[in-house]
Amino acid sequence: MNNLQSNTAFLDFGQYFSKANLSRDLPSSIVVFLVALPLCLGIALASGAPLFAGVLTGIVGGIVVSVVSGSQLSVSGPAAGLTVIVFGAIASLGSYQTFLLAVVIAGVIQIFLGILKAGIIANYFPSSVIEGILAAIGIILILKQLPHALGIDSDFEGDESFFQADHENTFTAIYGAVNKLSYGAVIISVVSLLIMIFWPKIKRLSAIPAPVIVVVLGIVMGVLFQNTGIALSSKQLVTIPIVSSFEQFIGLFSYPDFSQVTNQQVWTVAITLAVVASIETLLSIEAVDKIDPLKRISPTNRELVAQGFGNIASGMLGGMPMTSVIVRSSLNVNSGGKTKMSAIFHGFWLLLSLLFIPMILNKIPLACLAAILLITGYKLAKIDLFKKMYQSGKDQFIPFLVTVLAIVFTDLLKGVAIGMLVGIFYILKTNLRNPYFYKFEQSDGKDMIRIKLAQEVSFLNKAAIQYTLKNLPEGSHVIIDGTESMFIDRDVLEIIHNFKHHAFSKGTVVEILNVKKQYYIPNLNELIYNPIKNKEHA
């Protein structure tokens, strides 16, 4: 039911503007907007793109992608995982306009991937790896935001990689921040953390989101600290482009150079962006669904199409490539967001703030935003999660822990790849362990060996079954029982029938019970609309 609801939810406008949902979505959208703003700017700066491009990408990700998407809680925008690719692509293509063409083409490719149902690969991400991603992002938020909370902002906002662009790594950056801390920033971050912790516990005041109070007090303290020994520098504040007129605003847009459409390098960049952005998006969608309090299931193919439209719009206007972003999405969940209106509103807040209140936003201390992200990181990486995964057994805990460590000490994509390899190893190990039940029986005074096949016997079980049959004692009476099997792979069926054919020459008697010549696998439409037919084939 949840899946069907998530696929059709965009048609039911009534639910989005209900009082109950808006009372959750509006406050959450403000929190997400406040944090997304410096992240958009930081990622644009690290990518070698104009600062306006980062904000524009957040606007498009919030409005365009969220409208088309079937996810209720995902928030899209520029992604830290693409910074290295974007920076290198802009340099290699020679102009930002040529790069924008690659972004547009990447969006078209993503739409085709969605139509071809490539989003199904999200179903193959092991649950332990997804849990590991959430915990790792939480730890990264804590480690990466500590320098900002201490007043050292040399690394760009939103960086998730262990090795930083400023030639530091996560731990040396924290060490350097401790030795060079800014007392003004420390005071702001400590006060902000206390508000984040205790404000929600005051029932009369909890209707006002704690992050909003944090930002307002942060601005006030930043102003009060001016002309004192603990004044904040411009680097410790949000810095967005100031637009003084509508003409100046229009002048910030850039447009793709379609004359480069035959440039092979443009297509190489486009394919790279499409593949990497799609993988990051699918990982984010799976992770956000995991922490959705309502446990809704987002349609992954539709998400690829939505991201494609978003990247086309972003590239056409001068923005950067985007993905669904775990940090912003998890912040949306933790701030109480209920529907996609939270992400849409956040996009409009980004647009309106750029036009009307840039001077006010440029007074927000990064230290108070760091406090908000520190609390978000703590909620994602609670000790209880590690305890739960440990209690689930080593086949869950080891892939989970490896994923966490790999992401923290490399980056998201490399860490996930390592975690996936370990997760797949344990899945294969489990599959290879239980393809059948083997026991000795007696009937009419004769010894028999009964091999009872499991409910599902896949090609992964081929080697184990072949080894068992090959090493049975000659002259045995063997019963291969498929009564409980709903599916047996063709390769395994071939092994069973070949064994029966050749066993006679060795004096082995083979009985095959309830094993079909072929097993039918119904497709999804048949599962939904033809239950009677499927029952007949079962």
- Write out the DSSP string of 468-521: HHHTSPTT-EEEEE-TT-SEE-HHHHHHHHHHHHHHGGGT-EEEEES--S----
Rounded Cα–Cα distance for residues 185 and 232 (Å): 7
The predicted structure's pLDDT at residue 337? 95
Specify the pTM.
0.84
* 3-state SS record for 373-419: HHHHHHHHCCHHHHHHHHHCCHHHHHHHHHHHHHHHHCCHHHHHHHH
The predicted structure's pLDDT at residue 538? 38
For residue 40, the one-letter residue type is C
Asked whether residue 115 is assigned to any structural domain, the reply reads yes
Does one domain contain both 339 and 446?
A: no
Does one domain contain both 353 and 252?
A: yes
Per-position b or e across 506-533, b if 16+ CB within 10 A of its CB: eebebeeeebeeebeeeeeeeeeeeeee
Asked whether residue 475 is assigned to any structural domain, the reply reads yes
Show which of 323, 347, 365 is a domain's final residue: 365
Show which of 332, 365, 398 is a domain's final residue: 365
> What count of other Cβ atoms lies within 10 Å of the Cβ of residue 72?
29
Does one domain contain both 16 and 116?
A: yes
Section 429-456 average pLDDT: 73
Q: Is the pLDDT of residue 536 over 50?
A: no
The set of residues, in sequence order, having a beta carbon less than 8 Å from that of 159 and lying 6+ positions away, is: 42, 46, 80, 83, 144, 165
User: What domain count does the chain have?
Assistant: 2
Section 272-299 average pLDDT: 95
Q: If you count DSSP H runs as helices and E runs as strands, how many of each does the chain have, helices first?
A: 25, 8
Does one domain contain both 137 and 264?
A: yes
The predicted structure's pLDDT at residue 4? 38
Does one domain contain both 341 and 463?
A: no
The predicted structure's pLDDT at residue 445? 58
Lowest mean pLDDT among 45-54, 235-244, 380-389: 235-244
> What count of other Cβ atoms lies within 10 Å of the Cβ of residue 381?
21
The predicted structure's pLDDT at residue 382? 93
Q: What are phi and psi of 512, to 5 degrees?
A: -115, 115
The predicted structure's pLDDT at residue 487? 85
Does one domain contain both 70 and 160?
A: yes
**Is residue 509 very low, low, confident or very high in pLDDT (cuts 50, 70, 90)?**
confident
Section 234-259 average pLDDT: 90
Contact 138, 381 (CB under 8 A): yes
Report pLDDT digits (tens) over 179-201: 999 999 999 999 999 999 999 88
Q: Which one is predicted more confidently, 434 or 104? A: 104
Q: Is the pLDDT of residue 28 over 60?
A: yes
Lowest mean pLDDT among 107-111, 361-365, 530-534: 530-534
Asked whether residue 323 is assigned to any structural domain, the reply reads yes
**Is residue 370 very low, low, confident or very high in pLDDT (cuts 50, 70, 90)?**
very high
SS3 label, residue 439: strand
Does one domain contain both 329 and 460?
A: no
For residue 98, the one-letter residue type is T
Q: Which one is predicted more confidently, 437 or 341? A: 341
The predicted structure's pLDDT at residue 203? 78
Section 343-362 average pLDDT: 94
Q: What are phi and psi of 321, to 5 degrees?
A: -65, 150
Section 455-465 average pLDDT: 80
Q: According to the per-residue pLDDT averaged within each range, which of 30-44, 153-167, 457-471 is highest?
A: 30-44
Asked whether residue 247 is assigned to any structural domain, the reply reads yes
Asked whether residue 102 is assigned to any structural domain, the reply reads yes
Measured over the CA atoms of residue 152, residue 156, residue 160 and residue 161, the dihedral's sign is: negative
Rounded Cα–Cα distance for residues 496 and 518 (Å): 13
Does one domain contain both 15 and 100?
A: yes
Does one domain contain both 349 and 445?
A: no
* Averaged confidence pLDDT in the chain: 89
**Is residue 12 very low, low, confident or very high in pLDDT (cuts 50, 70, 90)?**
low
Q: Is the pLDDT of residue 409 over 90?
A: yes
Does one domain contain both 35 and 165?
A: yes
Q: What are phi and psi of 476, to 5 degrees?
A: -75, 165
Q: What is the CATH number of the domain that holds 487?
A: 3.30.750.24
Does one domain contain both 295 and 440?
A: no
The predicted structure's pLDDT at residue 433? 60
Asked whether residue 230 is assigned to any structural domain, the reply reads no
Q: Considering only CA atoms, give the Rg of the chain.
A: 28
Q: What are 448's strand-pairing partners?
A: 441
The predicted structure's pLDDT at residue 532? 44
Section 227-244 average pLDDT: 91
Distance between first and last Cα of the chain: 23
Asked whether residue 445 is assigned to any structural domain, the reply reads yes
Asked whether residue 307 is assigned to any structural domain, the reply reads yes
Q: Is the pLDDT of residue 96 over 90?
A: yes
Q: Is the pLDDT of residue 535 over 80?
A: no
Does one domain contain both 128 and 264?
A: yes
Lowest mean pLDDT among 243-257, 274-288, 292-306: 243-257
Show which of 365, 395, 424 is a domain's final residue: 365
Lowest mean pLDDT among 7-16, 349-358, 501-510: 7-16
311 lies in which domain range? 2-144+155-170+236-365
The predicted structure's pLDDT at residue 231? 95
